[in-house]
Structure 1
């Protein structure tokens, strides 16, 4: 039996009994106008709208589309809408479980359906980045000969995970993470639409806020949790989904945390102060609260980068690279995996030796500058790379440190008003002990004396 017959049977069953399918399936958009979010892809005249036949000239576009975006942003939905709008068979495969044999079977079925029934096929291939090069190569004949309209989905950068021949024959569409407002609109539609819960239950504000945090920008996760909580409430004879019911259903307590209010700043402050105090367990607790509350992982990563310089500095020169690497990884992978990266960095920073010497050094230097303690640059340090500089005495008498055996020249570098100022006072914590020795040695050879 062809896969499209299974699809047709499932749709017929859903029409007879709407509750037979999960809420996320029942609320799947039927047209592009019902799609939540991704407005940058849905503008009039966009490639996606031309693909479904909107606009002048009717259906047009490539035989392959690659949808790149985080989980739950609508990749499967868009593929389904394209098949419905173009009246094509919809066949779905997952690269996790399917192989070349399954792909060839679908392609053969598509050719028979086109030749025997005049029905073209949309092949939706999820997680295409999990296919090997040879497996992806098996798709090329079907794409080149337009035996199927291939819509492939990936959560990884397709330039790294999809073979060049397939990528060059495809329209690449980047999906953006759904916002809380996007998810909220979807929840409200599911609560009231006859395809969804049809007004059987209501959702108070505090429960909705927790549901949005649970969703984490994933529409499918939001609808799955909503359906479970609605069922639990109705089983109790309640028509309102209380916060306690949602907590019990999804087994996740609501964290008191307002991303725009005091808790946001209080918990972030507690995280940094726990790292500063070297309490790794407390730091992980506050990190977990921020993650569970749906805090932007990029905000957390930025705070960790600041902490690496503010509280650790040269006591552990590796702290800042670790924090920067964590921030880059977070930007690439997002939640939930980003929690591991943030944990990695938080533990490293909390257990690192601490020094605020770099912080106090720049603070003292800025304070002097703001007080007007600057003065002219010593003449021998001024730029001498222009005609007439020598007549002005610029760059005259400058000693090139690399010409000296010890690589350091005992000459004045600071302006006269600051020649005896010492801003950097290193600790002897961790690796900074080496810098403390270096500072003592260099100041001695520079002929500097403490005031």
Structure 2
């Protein structure tokens, strides 16, 4: 059975690797490490299909070490021990390079089993992960390794790999490519070179005896392949973060883009929840109706479902992005929560407590609560915070029209208010 096309055309030198110029261009640190042949423990972090395994294989070949491959999804502790034991074999006399793919799936004990051998240098570790290593890799392993981040490959660089794949797949005569086929595949793969090469292989298989590859064929094979999305992974939270920050920055076009990516991946509930948060956190009292309108849009979206749900959610996104912004109430509750967690509290003033009698030890019995509705403007000065926080200010009026109007009203109340008892 023939090996997959992606394996048959896998680059054999760093110059053949597409993309990752920030790591592999002449003069870059990783490139210089490989050229010297002195390889430290490394962690490659980045999305799938961007060259992590390929670069690790090239490094192992360049370093003259025995390459042992394990995958964190299937590797056991015994597999790791066997890999380490390879250093005592004839093949391992030059050293062992352990390439551990998807290290984030190993538990803490399994990762700890690597420590002794990578500490004494008998085994060189190159681990890869699609998740943030600072969250998923055991700290002691991380501290003994250097992290390099691999990035999605640009369409222009991916196009080079696509052309190389068509040449390899059509080695018995070549293919006639319609205009735009290479560019479409390179764009649709979303920075995943392996996915682009797999699309080429599928097109070659589907072509049969025909040698022409049409743009329509490419669209059918590569449809939705640009969606790099994992609801439990970094990409999920990155898109939600980008959605919120775009709305906070009043860029409705960027916000619509990130909403579209979430919805195209079939994720309806996550943006619904995030939009409700945004309405209060970032728009807040600058436009108090934002939360009501957003809730109505979210309810409509959930009720009608995809794909039509995109319509009310787009309405909510544009409304929030173009609305005035205020985080005053959000910051106020965060400061109040910080005081509570720091133990800054105390009983409410006697006038606010829900009891109407005093013990014999109280020298000045009585609740002394004054009912604001009995006073002009339904307001008077009265202590509401505990004694320890009597003068604490959490909320500061925002500089938008709505909150400034509320501030002016508050100042009017203060000017005309009855004095606090004892003043």
Q: TM-score, normalised by structure 1?
A: 0.54
Task: Report deviation, 1:145.
Answer: 2.7
Any stretches of 5+ residues in structure 1 without a counterpart? 1-18, 255-271, 273-282, 293-300, 321-342, 362-403, 408-422, 427-434
Matches within 5 A, 1:5-404: 20-52=2-34, 54=35, 58-62=36-40, 64-114=41-91, 118-192=93-167, 194=168, 196-198=169-171, 200-233=174-207, 235=208, 237-250=209-222, 287=260, 291=264, 309=283, 313-316=287-290, 359=324
Contact persistence 2:9–2:165 (CA under 8 A):
yes
C-alpha distance in structure 2 between counterparts of 1:289 and 1:41, whole Å? 30
Matched residue of 1:91: which SS? strand
| Structure 1 residues 242 and 352, CA gap change in structure 2 (3 angstroms) | closer
CA distance 1:167–1:309, change in 2 (3 Å): same
Q: TM-score, normalised by structure 2?
A: 0.57
Whole-angstrom distance in 2 between the partners of 1:229 and 1:356? 42
1:280-325 CA distance string (max 9 Å, x none): xxx9998269958xxxxxxxx99x979x759x942245999xxxxx
Q: Is the 8 A contact 1:111 1:147 kept in 2?
A: no
Counterpart Cα distance in 2 of 1:86 and 1:437: 70
Deviations 1:35-82 (A, max 9, x none): 111112123344433443x2xxx42232x1110112211111111111
| Paired residue secondary structure (1:178) | coil
Change (3 A) 1:287 1:61: closer
- Cα distance in 2 between the residues matched to 1:360 and 1:169: 45
Could you say what secondary structure the match of 1:151 adopts? Answer: strand
1:28 deviation in Å?
Answer: 1.0
Check conservation: 2:179, 2:215, Cα contact below 8 A. no
Residue in 2 that maps onto 1:405: 381
Q: Deviations over 1:150-179 (max 9, x none)?
A: 110012222222222212221211112211
Per-residue CA deviation, residues 229-261 of structure 1 (Å, 9 max, x unaligned), is 12212x1x322211222344456699xxxxxxx
Q: 1:352 to 1:151 in 2, by over 3 A?
A: closer
TM-align CA RMSD: 4.8
Deviation string 1:6-37 (CA, Å, 9 cap, x unpaired) is xxxxxxxxxxxxx8211111121101111111
* CA distance 1:138–1:344, shift in 2 (3 Å): farther
- Mapped to 1, the partners of 2:129 and 2:225 lie a distance apart of 31
Distance 1:358 1:153, change over 3 A: closer
Whether the 8 Å CA contact 1:319–1:352 is kept in 2: the answer is no
Cα offset for 1:439?
A: 7.6
Residue aligning to 2:396? none
| Cα displacement (A) at 1:202 | 3.5
Q: 1:447 to 1:355 in 2, by over 3 A?
A: farther
Structure 2 residue runs of 5 or longer lacking an equivalent are 227-246, 248-255, 266-273, 295-307, 327-379, 384-399, 417-423
SS in structure 2 of the partner of residue 66 of structure 1: strand
1:139 deviation in Å?
Answer: 0.8
The question of whether the paired residues in 2 share the 8 Å contact of 1:51 and 1:61 is answered with yes
Distance change in 2, residues 1:286/1:69 (3 Å): closer
